[in-house]
């Protein structure tokens, strides 16, 4: 299913984020899955999802440009597929 | 900077950490990577273990892989498991199944943050018990029965004698709703004594590689077969040596080694009793050195170096090969000639129970048991 940029998203309550120089590690205590957020900007997007009305708004607030948006949409889509965000 | 380069230069805390809680074990597996058997009188107390857990929580180490020895023989083992999970440190522990009865399995079923790994090194009692000891197959299978449906893991060290049973292991795992985990035999601990006779042949390595590629992410490997990436495609995982960079080992007496397969003074970074774990992880000279860019040494001119990254540090060390040269099981065949003149090393850290005949007669001891260095 295509990722819905327009709806509100949030980090799963079962996921812990650990900031790292490259971005962050995200660990899901339910699925035991470890994911890598490959930039600090993506970390900022993910952290702000719950406060923003939509994923698009979270990206904009974190300074993601319209050129970069497709790659962030893809990253968020992967996180949604693996239950990291919901 | 590519992600893999970040990992090579080290993280603020390990991604995953192995913690051997005791050197005591009711078995005496011939390939035990930690030469376990007897408890060490200096082992960490319950309070010291809890302090380690507190520190791991602060460092956001998401989970620990607990092993030994047989960790469940520690009287405070279940207390420590509860303490860790209550402090947001998930637990995966390896066991031979000895203490997993119906009651314990029910308890484990109710704890969402604990994963159990049952060790089995043969899909039949005949193959398994030659390596792990008489009765150990039945013990492991009984534990699997108790844990059926909990999604536990079946953990197998791939040897020359069980390569032909990979499908059978998968079938056993499927029977109990378990996930199969295959790992590489290392010449570490007592593994040094049996490596020559038990490590897979070149032809068998290819079989393992093809089998792993076919099964993809449905079979876990602990990232241990990255040296096989030189056959062509990378296997799932980070595909690099994580020693001192993204993984390490805390042993039962609090010594911190670069990886679980490197219990030797050469790879000893420090002890947590000095000032805790974080300073060792972040500041030890050894770990800083391991995080420096590696040149590739004798492997630098090989076209496959980017795939295999020179293989496993511990496998090279204990077979007596230089750390910047090829892996003893290099799939390009570069390990074989180097091994011909290499003098194997053995760790002085040995908790084996001496009085028992642990090595089946058909498995020949290495002629050299003393460390030559």
Cβ-based neighbours of A49, under 8 Å, separated by 6 or more: A8, A9, A10, A11, A55, A58, A85
Question: What does the pLDDT profile of chain B (373 residues) look like in tens digits?
Answer: 777 888 888 888 998 899 999 999 999 999 999 999 999 999 999 999 999 999 999 999 999 999 999 999 999 999 999 999 999 999 999 999 999 999 999 999 998 899 999 999 999 999 999 999 999 999 999 999 999 999 999 999 999 999 999 999 999 999 999 999 999 999 999 999 999 999 999 999 999 999 999 999 899 998 899 999 999 988 888 888 899 999 999 999 999 999 999 999 999 999 999 999 999 999 999 999 999 988 888 999 999 998 999 999 999 999 999 999 999 999 999 998 999 999 999 999 999 998 655 555 555 544 444 444 4
Q: How many CB pairs under 8 A join A and B?
A: 30
Rounded to two decimals, the ipTM of the complex is 0.87
How many helices (H) and strands (E) chain A has is answered by 3, 3
Instruction: Tell me if chain B has a CB within 8 Å of the CB of A61.
Output: no
Q: How far is B192 from chain A (nearest CA, A)?
A: 33
Phi, psi (deg, nearest 5) at residue B186: -115, 150
Q: Could you tell me the pTM of the whole model?
A: 0.91
- On chain A, the residues whose CB falls within 8 A of the CB of B63 are 27, 32
**CA torsion through residues B237, B238, B242, B245, sign:** negative
- Whether A30 sits inside 8 A of B88 (CB atoms) is no
Smallest Cα distance from A69 to chain B, Å: 21
State whether residue A40 sits within 8 Å of chain B by CB: no
Alpha carbon distance A77, B322 (integer Å): 45
Query: Cβ–Cβ of A32/B90 closer than 8 Å?
Result: yes
* Residue from A36, A37, A45 nearest A63 by CA: A45
Nearest to B132 by CA among B104, B101, B156, B165: B156
- Residue where the block lists tokens 């002890």: B271
């Amino acid at each position: 299913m295509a990722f819905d940029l327009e709806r509100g998203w949030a980090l799963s309550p079962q996921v812990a984020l650990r900031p790292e120089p490259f971005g962050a590690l995200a660990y899901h205590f339910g699925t035991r899955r470890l994911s890598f957020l490959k930039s600090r900007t993506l970390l900022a997007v993910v952290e702000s999802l719950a406060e923003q009305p939509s994923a698009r708004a979270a990206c904009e607030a974190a300074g993601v440009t319209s050129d970069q948006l497709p790659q962030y949409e893809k990253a968020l889509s992967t996180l949604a597929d693996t239950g990291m965000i919901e | 900077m590519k992600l893999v380069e970040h990992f090579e230069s080290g993280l603020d805390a390990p991604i995953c950490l192995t913690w051997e809680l005791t050197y005591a074990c009711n078995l005496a597996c011939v390939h035990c990577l930690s030469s376990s058997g007897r408890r060490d009188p200096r082992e960490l107390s319950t309070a010291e273990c809890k302090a380690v857990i507190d520190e791991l929580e602060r460092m956001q180490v998401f989970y620990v892989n607990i092993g030994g020895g047989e960790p469940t023989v520690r009287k405070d083992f279940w207390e420590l498991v509860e303490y860790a999970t209550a402090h947001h440190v998930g637990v995966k522990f390896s066991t031979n199944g000895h203490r997993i009865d119906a009651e314990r399995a029910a308890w484990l079923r109710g704890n969402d943050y604990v994963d159990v790994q049952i060790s089995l090194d043969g899909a039949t009692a005949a193959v398994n018990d030659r390596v792990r000891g008489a009765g150990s197959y039945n013990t492991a299978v009984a534990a699997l029965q108790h844990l059926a449906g909990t999604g536990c893991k079946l953990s197998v060290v791939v040897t020359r004698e069980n390569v032909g049973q990979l499908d059978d292991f998968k079938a056993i795992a499927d029977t109990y709703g378990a996930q199969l985990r295959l790992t590489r035999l290392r010449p570490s601990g007592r593994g040094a004594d049996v490596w020559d006779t038990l490590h897979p042949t070149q032809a068998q390595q290819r079989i393992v590689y093809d089998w792993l590629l076919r099964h993809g992410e449905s079979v876990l490997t602990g990232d241990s077969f990255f040296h096989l990436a030189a056959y062509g495609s990378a296997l799932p995982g980070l595909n690099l040596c994580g020693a001192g960079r993204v993984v390490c080992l805390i042993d039962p007496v609090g010594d911190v080694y670069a990886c679980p397969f490197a219990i030797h003074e050469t790879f000893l970074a420090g002890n947590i009793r000095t000032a805790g774990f974080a300073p060792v992880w972040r500041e030890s000279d050894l770990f800083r050195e391991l995080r420096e860019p590696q040149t590739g040494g004798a492997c630098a001119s090989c076209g496959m170096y980017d795939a295999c990254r020179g293989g496993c540090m511990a496998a090279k060390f204990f077979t007596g090969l230089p750390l910047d040269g090829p892996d003893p099981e290099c799939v390009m065949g570069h390990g074989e000639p180097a091994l011909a003149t290499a003098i194997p090393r053995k760790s002085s850290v040995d908790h084996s129970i001496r009085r028992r005949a642990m090595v089946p007669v058909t498995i020949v001891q290495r002629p050299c048991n003393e460390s030559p260095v």
